Amino acid sequence: MKKVLIPTKLDKVVSEILSAKGFTVVQDMETPFLDLAKANPDAEALIIRSEKVTPEIMDVLPSLKLVVRAGAGYDNVDIKYARRKNIDVMNTPGANSNAVAEEVIAMILAAYRKLIPADISTRAGKWEKKSFMGREFTGKTLGIIGLGHIGRLLAKRASGFEVTILGFDPVISKELASEIGVTLTTVEDIFSKADVISLHVPENDVTRGMVNEKLLSLVKKGVMIVNCARAGIVNEDDLRKFKAEKGILYCNDVYKKDAEGEKSIADIADVMAPHLGASTKEANFVAAKRAAEQTVAYFENGVTTCVVNKGVPDGLDAEYQHLASILAKLARAAIGLETPLRKIETSFYGNLHQFAKWMTAPICAGLTPEFDPYLNAKDAEEFLKGRGVELVNRDVDDAKKYGESITIDLIDAKGNRVSVRGTITEGNMMISRLDDFDRLYLDPKGNTLFFEYKDVPGVIAKLSGELSAQGINIIDIRAPQNPKSGNSLAVIKTCSAVSDELVAKMGALVGAVNAFQFKA
């Protein structure tokens, strides 16, 4: 009889389902987690909410095979250490989405109508009606950064207020966005035009501190920003700087640490809550039910659909997954980071063809930081389908002798296409082709600038001269030609990253038809 340890408060449905299937359930939210784990070393599964599953916890549970996070986010679990211990980690994506979407609406209304200070004042016996003149949400422009489960539900819930909805998501198709009443645009455009901005992206190296001085300088006076995603997305010091000047209303439900104590954001938050996004009876029930059902399916039928830290199948070098991600990221940069996609076409040559499905998740992770590379092919397919992006794995002709290589094409809503091919040679990744520019033989690591231009003399000199003027060293230069179009491609590897402004300036200097920077 398998034992499941639940060190958290979850709806009773979790124990009912598990017990009915013959599992031994130990649910105890009072005993300290580590002590509870030590007392139950035979536990084979953990079901948690926000509890941290550290290496120490896993080390005292030698029989542990599965950790289920009843919710979407799982940054409280050391998934890499779990993989080394051969422990699968699952989440229950979407279980809390509606609860978070509704919380955003609640925060918007509370802030606009000043309900919290009005409540405090009225309870104190005061009658300060004139002090609490509010605003209406109806008719405003709502900007949603991230159109995953929560972002799309928020758009649906907010539509009843007859708002104009602007959205940004690096993957969702223009057609699907239109279906849910969202006009796709850039992050900068949202911060310039929206009356209310709601954040729904994960915190990672790309999104950390994204709401910074640059974006905050664009906002209208009186804008409201709602953060029910992750604390690190907002640069608190920059928000503090613009708070008074722009009259920003800030609603916050996420913190660097979920615990008692002073909160660094307290002086600039108009509405604060103790990470209540998923704290509804309905969300708790759904998360508990899914966690139990997934646990049963895992042990009874070997179902691993929601495992977020899967390994690599026998016969596949993990570096090819990394290559697939890099190729997707490069193609994304070439077609435009904010260009809505319609279709992805892939070709896997040689022995890689049998591992096509294992490449889908890395490709999604390369397209957008919103997708976690530890998720599996089914998750990736659902992710793309949910954003209206078609995925096609093409049949290949190995007579072309491309060896173990990968080709990825991205097609946007207008039918424009970008195609990249790469392989691994002598243990190193190599980009062999970008569109019709063949024989690149480019190591993608580091900082690389790309400028496609009409082939005329002196272009390389102009580009290198501009970099020199900025004190930026050039590590490598190559300039393949496309005889069909008469264009050349300047590929310049630099010692450090270059500002977007400088890339645009250099592109304009040489009349580039496409100019972008890529960092791997």
The 10s digit of each residue's pLDDT in 17-39 is 999 999 999 999 999 999 999 99
Mean pLDDT over 271-276 rounds to: 95
**437: three-class secondary structure by DSSP:** strand
Four-point Cα dihedral 198, 204, 207, 208, nearest 10? 100
pTM, two decimals, is 0.80
For 3-92+281-301, CATH gives: 3.40.50.720
Residue 481 Cα to chain centre, angstroms: 36
pLDDT of 509 over the 90 cut: yes
Q: How far apart are CA 239 and CA 250, in angstroms?
A: 9
**19: three-class secondary structure by DSSP:** helix
Confidence of residue 14 (pLDDT cuts 50, 70, 90): very high
Residue 257's pLDDT is 86
* Token duo for residue 59: 């080390």
**372: three-class secondary structure by DSSP:** coil
**365: three-class secondary structure by DSSP:** helix
H-only helix segments in 33-96: 33-39, 55-59, 79-84
Its CATH architecture, for the domain 447-520, is 2-Layer Sandwich (3.30)
Mean pLDDT over 171-183 rounds to: 92
pLDDT of 281 over the 80 cut: yes
Q: What CATH topology corresponds to 312-445? A: 60s Ribosomal Protein L30; Chain: A; (3.30.1330)
pLDDT of 459 over the 70 cut: yes
Cβ distance 390 to 351 under 8 Å?
A: no
pLDDT of 376 over the 90 cut: no
Residue 75's pLDDT is 83
Maximum distance among all Cα pairs of the chain, rounded to whole angstroms: 85
Q: Which residues of 84-112 are buried (b: 16+ CB within 10 A; e: fewer)?
A: eeebbbbbbbbbbbbbbbbbbbbbbebbb
| Element at 13 (helix H, strand E) | helix 13-20
Q: What percent of the chain has pLDDT over 70?
A: 99
Residue 25's pLDDT is 97
Confidence of residue 378 (pLDDT cuts 50, 70, 90): confident
**20: three-class secondary structure by DSSP:** helix
Q: How far apart are CA 26 and CA 381, in angstroms?
A: 36
* Range(s) within the chain of domains with CATH label 3.30.1330.90: 312-445
pLDDT of 379 over the 90 cut: no
Residue 374's pLDDT is 64
The residue assigned the tokens 């954040």 is 199
| Element at 329 (helix H, strand E) | helix 318-335
Q: How far apart are CA 205 and CA 186, in angstroms?
A: 19
From the list 78, 74, 73, 77, the residue with the least C-alpha distance to 100 is 73
* Range(s) within the chain of domains with CATH label 3.40.50.720: 3-92+281-301, 97-272
* Range(s) within the chain of domains with CATH label 3.30.70.260: 447-520
Q: What CATH topology corresponds to 97-272? A: Rossmann fold (3.40.50)
Q: What is the number of other CB atoms lying within 10 angstroms of the CB of residue 155? A: 21
**481: three-class secondary structure by DSSP:** strand
**460: three-class secondary structure by DSSP:** helix
The 8-class DSSP code of residue 53 comes to B
**283: three-class secondary structure by DSSP:** helix
pLDDT of 259 over the 90 cut: no
pLDDT of 304 over the 90 cut: no
* Token duo for residue 464: 């290198």
Q: What percent of the chain has pLDDT over 90?
A: 83
Long-range contacts of the stretch 202-208 (C-beta < 8 A, 24+): 202/73, 202/229, 202/230, 202/369, 202/370, 202/372, 203/75, 203/229, 203/230, 203/231, 203/232, 203/233, 204/369, 205/369, 206/369, 207/232, 207/233, 207/369, 208/232, 208/233
pLDDT tens-digit series, residues 330-347: 999 999 998 999 999 999
Mean pLDDT over 373-396 rounds to: 87
- 196 phi/psi in degrees, rounded to 5: -130, 135
Q: Are strands 224-227 and 196-199 parallel, antiparallel or unpaired?
A: parallel
* Token duo for residue 498: 């270059």
Cβ distance 265 to 272 under 8 Å?
A: yes
Mean pLDDT over 258-265 rounds to: 91
Mean pLDDT over 396-418 rounds to: 91
Cβ distance 486 to 519 under 8 Å?
A: no
Q: Are strands 224-227 and 249-252 parallel, antiparallel or unpaired?
A: parallel
- Average pLDDT along the chain: 94
Confidence of residue 325 (pLDDT cuts 50, 70, 90): very high
From the list 189, 108, 98, the residue with the least C-alpha distance to 152 is 98
